[in-house]
Chain A
Amino acid sequence: MSELLTFDLAVRKPGFKLEAAAEVPLSGITALSGPSGSGKTTLLRALAGLEPSATGRINFAGENWSRMRPARRGVGYVFQDAKLFPHLNVAQNLAYGAIRRQASEELVEAVVRALDLRPLLARSPETLSGGETRRVALGRALASAPRILLMDEPLTGLDRARKLDLMPYIAHAVADFGVPAIYVTHSAAEISFLADRTLFIEDGQLTNWSGAAPRVVGRVVNAAPGQVNLEVGRFTVWVNGQGNVGELWAVPLGQDYLLSTQDPGHSTAALTLPGVVADADPGSGLCQMDIEGQRLALAWPRVDGRVPERGTPVWLSLPRLSARPIQAEDGPESR
């Protein structure tokens, strides 16, 4: 059972009111999602202590943060527009928080390695591309040895290709450094790839929680530069990414997975996994399936209005594969 970040906050600004209370597990990535102007950034800033008008209480793993200065909370805040210090080069930006929080040189070195920052160290922030700037901003936050990462739409403004490049870095940062994160976004793709759970906000009110997007979890059994070989039950598959043998990785199903009661045989899918229906609700169409030892709850495609009965063999096909490392405690309960 992970520790909790508990808050009950109110922020009042002209024409806007935020009232939010929740208990957030301090593990993995918690996405905070909602439409523009719903209060996502305000809530994140209030948690960091950057909203002077915020009232209420914040408790971080038993520590009272309600009146604590931002500098003492130990958050790593990744701003939407990075806010790198323009008078310092990349190495000095990384060192800024590391020195003040007395982070070890090993940590800074690990951050530089994990985010591929070495070639950028002597550069000035002005000379960095959009993607490089975001990587340095994430690195600066991580190098300060934070107790929690608060990320405010860190990929906003980047094109799709850059986002796909950067999402694994974020996943690695959280998994490798064991730092829980709250990740503000309104991108379904980012939630699907990164989030272990999602907290929704609308008009300054938290509306509901959802768990991680459907995914299967595999263990790395082989690693090559830029690729890892994942073992999912009896199957192994290569996916892009940098990892180490023994790590747990999640393969989000995304929006375009296929379910079938017939063996698709040699299809063009990147991965096909067999399973069996463990439970089915004809009313909602929701099926509980045991797929290679993992329990998945998926909506059965309502083509003819019927759902398969309990015990029916099923096949789950994924046309494309992307995967990210996860912390061990975020893995499936069956493990």
Chain B
Amino acid sequence: MSFSGPILLTLQLAGVTMVLLLLIGMPIAWWLAHTKSRLRPIVEAVTALPLVLPPTVLGFYLLILMSPNTPIGAFWVRLTGEQLTFSFSGLVVASLFYSLPFAVQPMQAAFQGVGRGMMEAAATLGASRWDQFRSVVLPLSRRGILAAAVLSFAHTVGEFGVVLMVGGNIPDRTRVISIEIYSAVETLDYQTAHILSGGLLVFSFVVLVLVYLLNQRGLRAGV
């Protein structure tokens, strides 16, 4: 019995999702942290929607949206030659939506914590806007960014409903750990289910301890 396929696929999916979410989530978090726009509550609600929406609902709409019959799905087929649904790329897109709040919210809180004063101090010392962000905001937000990375990685590792809806259960393409556990239980292979579930349990626990440790140090350091 080999678990390496689902485990590698899950780590690959979580890694790609984490990197992309940091890149996509950072500007969103920055905007939410500083905007006075009336659109802010709407954007905030949209990014937080995956927290309350059943994953199957999100998965259902993504499945519809990414199917080859829609403009987005058709465009993807033209671009890559393969369809977005039931593919690894489709899983990445779904995971981006599903884990978005776990990336945006810690970074938004971190950016708000830095405040404008530090950036103003940097500006009066000759730093351009990008320089202020790079040399002051990023280092002072590092714990929030790290928390965002860890949480979005961990949350992607643990996703099930969205993956099943969008990706199905294709070995080495879309069968991630959670799907493998589901399949194992369905076929009464409890040993596999135990090993993978126990692994995920320990992994999730370690991740949460890490996040709370980061928060505690952040509080102590006052950043």
Rounded to whole angstroms, the CA-CA distance of A140 and B125 in the bound complex is 8
Q: Which residues of A contact B118 (CB under 8 A)?
A: 83, 85
Q: Which of A50, A81, A97, A126 contacts B125 (CB 8 A)?
A: A97
Q: Which residues of B contact A204 (CB under 8 A)?
A: none
Q: Which of A50, A76, A85, A140 contacts B123 (CB 8 A)?
A: A50
Known: A87-B139, A87-B140, A100-B131. A70 touches B124 (CB 8 A): yes
User: Counting CB contacts under 8 A, is B81 at the interface?
Assistant: no
User: Counting CB contacts under 8 A, is A171 at the interface?
Assistant: no
Q: Which residues of A contact B122 (CB under 8 A)?
A: 85, 96
User: Counting CB contacts under 8 A, is B136 at the interface?
Assistant: yes
Interface size counted on chain A using CB atoms at 8 A: 26
Residues of chain B having any CB pair with chain A under 8 Å: 117-118, 120-128, 131, 135-136, 139-140, 221-223
Rounded to whole angstroms, the CA-CA distance of A86 and B136 in the bound complex is 9
CB distance from A97 to the nearest CB of B (A): 3
Known: A70-B120, A85-B118, A86-B223. A97 touches B126 (CB 8 A): yes
Q: Which of A49, A72, A87, A100 contacts B223 (CB 8 A)?
A: A87
Q: Is the CB of A70 within 8 A of B123?
A: yes
CB distance from A283 to the nearest CB of B (A): 48
Q: Which residues of B contact A69 (CB under 8 A)?
A: 123, 128
User: Counting CB contacts under 8 A, is A144 at the interface?
Assistant: yes
Q: Is the CB of B124 within 8 A of A76?
A: yes
Q: Is the CB of B117 within 8 A of A71?
A: no
Q: Which residues of B contact A126 (CB under 8 A)?
A: 221-222
User: Counting CB contacts under 8 A, is A77 at the interface?
Assistant: yes
Rounded to whole angstroms, the CA-CA distance of A140 and B131 in the bound complex is 17
Residues of chain A having any CB pair with chain B under 8 Å: 48-50, 69-77, 79, 81, 83, 85-87, 96-97, 100-101, 126, 140-141, 144
Rounded to whole angstroms, the CA-CA distance of A50 and B221 in the bound complex is 27
Rounded to whole angstroms, the CA-CA distance of A126 and B220 in the bound complex is 11
Q: A48, A70, A75: which has the most chain B beta carbons within 10 Å? A: A70
Q: Which residues of B contact A83 (CB under 8 A)?
A: 117-118, 120-121
Known: A97-B126, A100-B127, A144-B126. A85 touches B121 (CB 8 A): yes
Q: A49, A81, A86: which has the most chain B beta carbons within 10 Å? A: A86
Q: Is the CB of A101 within 8 A of B223?
A: no
Q: Is the CB of B126 within 8 A of A100?
A: yes
Q: Which of A49, A71, A74, A81 contacts B127 (CB 8 A)?
A: A71
Rounded to whole angstroms, the CA-CA distance of A73 and B223 in the bound complex is 29
Q: Which of B117, B135, B222 contacts A96 (CB 8 A)?
A: B135
CB distance from B140 to the nearest CB of A (A): 6
Q: Which of B136, B221, B222 contacts A85 (CB 8 A)?
A: B136
Q: Is the CB of B126 within 8 A of A50?
A: no
Q: Which of A49, A74, A77, A87 contacts B121 (CB 8 A)?
A: A77
Q: Is the CB of A71 within 8 A of B140?
A: no
Rounded to whole angstroms, the CA-CA distance of A86 and B140 in the bound complex is 8
CB distance from A148 to the nearest CB of B (A): 11
19 further A-B contacts with Cβ under 8 Å, apart from A50-B123, A96-B125, are A48-B124, A49-B123, A50-B124, A70-B120, A70-B124, A71-B123, A75-B124, A77-B120, A77-B124, A79-B121, A83-B120, A83-B121, A85-B118, A85-B121, A86-B221, A87-B223, A100-B127, A101-B125, A126-B221
Rounded to whole angstroms, the CA-CA distance of A151 and B121 in the bound complex is 12
Q: Is the CB of A144 within 8 A of B125?
A: yes
Q: Which residues of A contact B117 (CB under 8 A)?
A: 79, 81, 83
Q: Which residues of B contact A50 (CB under 8 A)?
A: 120, 123-124
Known: A86-B222, A87-B223. A71 touches B121 (CB 8 A): no
Q: List 10 A-B contacts (CB under 8 A).
A: A50-B124, A72-B126, A77-B121, A86-B140, A86-B223, A87-B139, A87-B140, A97-B126, A101-B126, A141-B125
Rounded to whole angstroms, the CA-CA distance of A294 and B122 in the bound complex is 44
Q: Which residue of A lies closest to B142 (CB)?
A: A87
Q: Which residues of B contact A96 (CB under 8 A)?
A: 122, 125, 127, 135
Q: Which residues of A contact B135 (CB under 8 A)?
A: 96
Q: Which residues of A contact B136 (CB under 8 A)?
A: 85, 87
Q: Which residue of B lies closest to A124 (CB)?
A: B221
Q: Which residue of B lies closest to A82 (CB)?
A: B121
